[in-house]
Amino acid sequence: MLLNPNKTPNVPNKGLTVLIPQDLTNTEDPANTAQLPAFPTLYKVVHCLTRFIPTNNYKRFILKNLQQTDKCRYGCQDSETIQHVTGGCQAFAPTDYKERHDIAAKIIHQELAYKFKLIECKLQYYKYTPQCVLENDKYKLYWDSTVLTDQYIKQNRPDIIIVDKGAPESNSD
């Protein structure tokens, strides 16, 4: 959809989210298959940046479809909003959120390994794969290792553990 800069569109003042659906709506093709872009990843990024993804919340409250539920389509009882889908939906927690978390942890792991001279050079973050244990004469760096404790701890697998071999050991009697 090309907008004529000399003509103001007759659209309620709801921002960019009102203009985008008009581009994607194709009444002759109910599945909108002819309108899908060639690069779906870029498509997702653009829609996230413009804060328009046709969530159930959007369909119910912006498009005023009162027969549409605003609950998450992935089984949660929360309202399906952009914020919920990108950061709070339990359906994505074991996979997508963990992957995003691990990418950030890999960057920190590489920085620590380089700082403590456990690796000689840095790689691009997406090429770096942490080793389970990196060690030199002063430090030991663990990645995603289970910690054995005297008492049961549910979260006993921290992402990163660094041990300073020169520091005195703590004794908690």
Structure tokens at 135: 């060690």
84 pLDDT band (50/70/90 cuts)?
confident
pLDDT of 90? 87
User: Is a pLDDT exceeding 70 seen at residue 122?
Assistant: yes
171 pLDDT band (50/70/90 cuts)?
low
The verdict on pTM exceeding 0.75 is no
DSSP string, 1-15: -PPPTTS-----S-T
Contact 125, 107 (CB under 8 A): yes
C-alpha separations of 128 from 70, 92, 97, 102 in Å: 40, 24, 19, 12
Q: What is the mean pLDDT of the chain?
A: 76
Q: Phi, psi at residue 134, to the nearest 5°?
A: -120, 140
Q: How far apart are CA 141 and CA 159, in angstroms?
A: 10
